[in-house]
Amino acid sequence: MNMRASATRPATEFAQLKARLKTTWMTGDYDLFSRYMEKDAEQFVRRLGIQPKATVLDVGCGAGQFALIAARAGAEVTGCDISTNWLEKARARAAAEGLEVTFEEGDAESLPYEDGQFEVVASLIGAMFAPRPERVAAELTRVCAPGGIIAMANWTPDGFVGQMFKTISKHIAPPGMPSPVLWGDEGTVRARLREGISGLKCTLYAYHFDYPFAPDAVVDFYRKNYGPVSRAFGSLDANGQESLRSELVRLWAGHNYADGNATKVDAEFLEVLAIRA
């Protein structure tokens, strides 16, 4: 056996996995998708009590949802993500509001920052999707200053979005990758966030989506704009796509309801607040 080839193959396969995940999150229109999540994102930021001039890192920032809210509160914010197209959107949004926010490419498993650089290290539905959760936990902890806050909002396994990922995962999940929604399980979170942590609090909250269109259009909105759902459909032929659409229609019928010509959807997430030792 060629030992050198054997040793390098896992690294090559992992690079391919990373590229696949990056493509997934750059698909669709996450900037548009996240606009319907801003109300509860603002509540998440408010609960953190971020002070003016506080140094804040938004990990998996997407199009800047959390980062922009924190910047409006006067924080000194940096956002990082693997999806370079959404970073461009985030920069444009910040510029349009006259906000000074640094947005740069960065991986939650290998953050390009110094030890203890930030007073608040947060991830709103972002870092939970990295494939090596132990590295994510270690990196979030490493870049947080002693006495600082590590905050995450993660979809739960049993909530609406968790069930959606269960439905689409068989079409997009790489073999051997832990389910992202395990970050929404308190026991799992406590096992991952142990080293360097002096306190940890987990709280379940509802996340409300308000869409200005009828319930029948919700599935196709996700299909067009939300990367994982879009990629799942793209992996199937016409019959498979119709089957998946039917599955999602049935799932979402139990979680959304009409409000005139609009639609409201209730999801569930676990809010994680950890204090850096």
Enclosing domain of residue 204:
19-210+266-276
Question: What local confidence, expressed as pLDDT, does residue 5 receive?
Answer: 34
Beta bridge pairs of residue 270: 154, 204
**Residue 73 within a domain:** yes
Judged by average pLDDT, the poorest of 47-51, 89-93, 216-220, 272-276 is 216-220
- Kindly tell me the number of DSSP H helices and DSSP E strands found in the chain: 11, 8
**Residue 180 within a domain:** yes
**Residue 251 within a domain:** no
**Residue 128 within a domain:** yes
pLDDT > 70? residue 1: no
Instruction: Give the contacts of 3 (CB within 8 A, at least 6 positions apart).
Output: none
**Cα-atom radius of gyration of the chain, to the nearest Å?**
19
Q: How many angstroms separate the CA atoms of 201 and 85, rounded?
A: 34
Span 75-79, mean pLDDT? 98
Q: How many angstroms separate the CA atoms of 25 and 33, rounded?
A: 12
Span 190-213, mean pLDDT? 96
Q: Which two tokens stand for residue 274?
A: 């950890």
Span 114-120, mean pLDDT? 98
**Residue 230 within a domain:** no
How does pLDDT run across 130-180, given as a tens digit for each residue? 999 999 999 999 999 999 999 999 999 999 999 999 999 989 987 778 999
| Paired sense of beta strands 256-259 and 262-276, if any | antiparallel
Q: How many CB atoms lie within 10 A of CB 4?
A: 8
Q: How many angstroms separate the CA atoms of 5 and 7, rounded?
A: 5
**Predicted model pTM:** 0.94
Q: How many angstroms separate the CA atoms of 189 and 218, rounded?
A: 31
Q: Exposed, middle or buried: residue 246 (CB in 10 Å: 0-12, 13-18, 19+)? A: exposed
The domain that holds 50 is classified in CATH as: 3.40.50.150
**Residue 245 within a domain:** no
Q: Which two tokens stand for residue 135?
A: 């590295």
**Residue 82 within a domain:** yes
**Residue 246 within a domain:** no
State how far the alpha carbon of 206 is from the alpha carbons of 41, 63, 92, 154, in Å. Answer: 11, 22, 30, 11
More confident residue, 17 or 275: 275
Span 212-237, mean pLDDT? 94
pLDDT > 80? residue 221: yes
- Domain count for the chain, please give it: 1
Confidence of residue 72 (pLDDT cuts 50, 70, 90): very high
State how far the alpha carbon of 108 is from the alpha carbons of 58, 83, 112, 207, 251, in Å. Answer: 10, 12, 9, 23, 30
